[in-house]
Amino acid sequence: MALRPLKPTSRSSLSLALPLRPEVMKPALLILNHLEPAHLALIAEHYDVRYAPTAAERATEVATNGKTFRAVLTIGSIGLTAKEIDAMPALELVCAMGAGYENIDTAKCRERGIAVGNGAGTNDSCVADHAMALLLASVRRVPAYDRATREGIWRNALPLAPNLSGKRMGIVGLGTIGRRIAQRGLGFDLEIGYHNRRPRTDVPHRYFDSVMSLAEWADYLIIATPGGAETRHMVDTPVLRALGPAGYLVNIARGSVVDTAALAAALRAGELGGAGLDVYESEPAPPVELFDCPNVVLTPHVAGWSPEAIFASVSQFVENARRHFAGEPLVAPVL
């Protein structure tokens, strides 16, 4: 379904949609993640939208209008709980805008026969670009050099930053995003290794059967694996020590995959060369324990955010939902 741009629409006007005749009534949709007014307007062309991006608004909408919702749009870090699903007896479809869906209770959805879709493929290039930006910034010490320049410090007084190229990049999670990161790494003459639950047969890169063995081999360790209980603190003190004082860590996946306390300790002790993080265990609160660590580059979970990526994600949600209500398979099904 092609989406045409509309003028921005206020949140209040979306919540006060005029009643429609029953035969043309739009399905009721609850949106839990932040969206720009123009994107809300695009979705509101097709659905009766209730917008609840804050915890208080979310609780109110579920309690007040839960029985009416046939679809929910959320993101992986916000999710949708079993209790909320139970409060929505008409719910048929839950979609995550991004690829992640770790906090959507998929077991409850499966039990209820609720379809689940995601935004797989809509922001892969954007995330891969950002992963390389974080790697370049930390390896080449761009933020520190920027600060030094503003303070009038010339290069002779600064530590040398190593080449990025000609090294080994290890990727934890060689899904669609991981493969795009690998493509970019090849452009920097990097040798690529990876760890998955099982080897892939469609890539030429070297497979490692554990994160530890990958970290021992790699100069750079890029985290691109899904979040959740199975991957919580997968990158811990032993893995960071295996990566070593000349090694660099980049995480564009989920904050829970990296043990933040272990990372802070490794950076302060010089056991790790540097890190670039777009995600944290504490988010949306900043990782204050990393603020005074040497050579760490931080961004506020924006790796998958660009005008192009957000529009593609909104478009894919609309198409997923259109297909569901038309009785067709989702373009990006989870369940």
Phi, psi of 204 (to 5 degrees): -90, 0
Per the residue annotation, which of 168, 200, 301, 322 is the catalytic one? 301
Per the residue annotation, which of 70, 141, 180, 254 is the catalytic one? 254
**307 and 299 Cβ atoms separated by less than 8 Å:** no
**73 and 29 Cβ atoms separated by less than 8 Å:** yes
Residue with tokens 């520190």: 144
Q: Is the dihedral of CA 125, 199, 242, 183 positive or negative?
A: negative
30: enclosing H helix or E strand: strand 28-31
Number of H helices, E strands in the chain: 12, 12
Q: Distance between CA 1 and CA 148 in Å, rounded?
A: 50
| Known active-site residue 301 | yes
223: enclosing H helix or E strand: strand 220-223
| Known active-site residue 92 | no
**65 and 26 Cβ atoms separated by less than 8 Å:** no
Closest CA to 91 of 78, 101, 104, 100: 104
The tokens describing 130, both together, are 């950002």
Q: Distance between CA 88 and CA 68 in Å, rounded?
A: 7
Q: Distance between CA 325 and CA 90 in Å, rounded?
A: 13
| Known active-site residue 254 | yes
DSSP 99: S
Cα 331 to Cα 73, 268, 315: the distances in Å are 15, 46, 11
Q: What angle do CA 306, 307, 308 make, to 5 degrees?
A: 90
**282 and 255 Cβ atoms separated by less than 8 Å:** yes
The tokens describing 112, both together, are 């209820």
Per the residue annotation, which of 57, 216, 271, 283 is the catalytic one? 283
Instruction: Give me the active site residues, please.
Output: 254, 283, 301
